[in-house]
Each structure stands twice: as structure tokens, then as C-alpha cells.
Amino acid sequence: MSRPSTLLPAVLAALAALEGARTRESLTAASLLPQVSAGFEAARAAYTAGRADFDTVLEAWRRLQDSRLALLGAQAEGRMALFELQTLAGEEL
């Protein structure tokens, strides 16, 4: 375990990382993913109607996958920060 003089800064850093990850996760899930998903659906509909080319659909799909990866990344960062807090506390939180 960390020395007492380094424990508080480590806990504060882990808390800040956890809060940041949760904020990114929330914003991505509530805002970014719905917007990008709607953009993909619009591109697909436009392609089906002959108003867009396949590259447009692929680009929209890529943006959707990037957004999903961003969400997974934020979730992973949050879990890593929580694990760090648990390690510092010496017990499961």
C-alpha cells in the first residue's frame, strides 16, 4: 500500500479519473451515440433512396463504430479508476 503522504493524492487522482470517465460515458451514451446513430440511419435511408453513395454510408457507419468504441473506452477507464480506488482502500467499494 502507498505511504500516508502519497495516499491522499492517489485517492484524489483516482476519484477525478472515475468522475471524468463517468461524465464521458454519460455524455457519449446520452448525446453522441443517439446523434451518430441517427446520422447512420439517415445515410442508409438516403442510399436506399438513391440520394447518397455507399461511401457516405460507410463513413456514417465508421463514425457510429468510433462512438461505440468511445463509450466502451470510457466504461473501461471508469472500471480501472474504481479498481485503483479499491486497491487504495484495501477493500471492494
DSSP letter for each residue of 10-76: HHHHHHHHHHHHHHHHHHIIIIIHHHHHHHHHHHHHHHHTTSS-HHHHHHHHHHHHHHHHHHHHHHH
- Our count of domains for the chain comes to 1
pLDDT averages per 10-residue partition of the chain, 93 residues: 77 96 98 98 98 98 98 98 93 72
CB 39 within 8 Å of CB 65: no
Predicted local confidence at residue 6, as pLDDT: 86
Predicted local confidence at residue 53, as pLDDT: 98
Question: In terms of residue numbers, what domain contains 48?
Answer: 4-89
Whether the model pTM is above 0.95: no
Buried b (16+ CB within 10 A) or exposed e, 39-55: bbeebeeebeeeebeee
Select from 29, 60, 59, 30 the least CA-distant residue to 42. Answer: 60
Predicted local confidence at residue 60, as pLDDT: 98
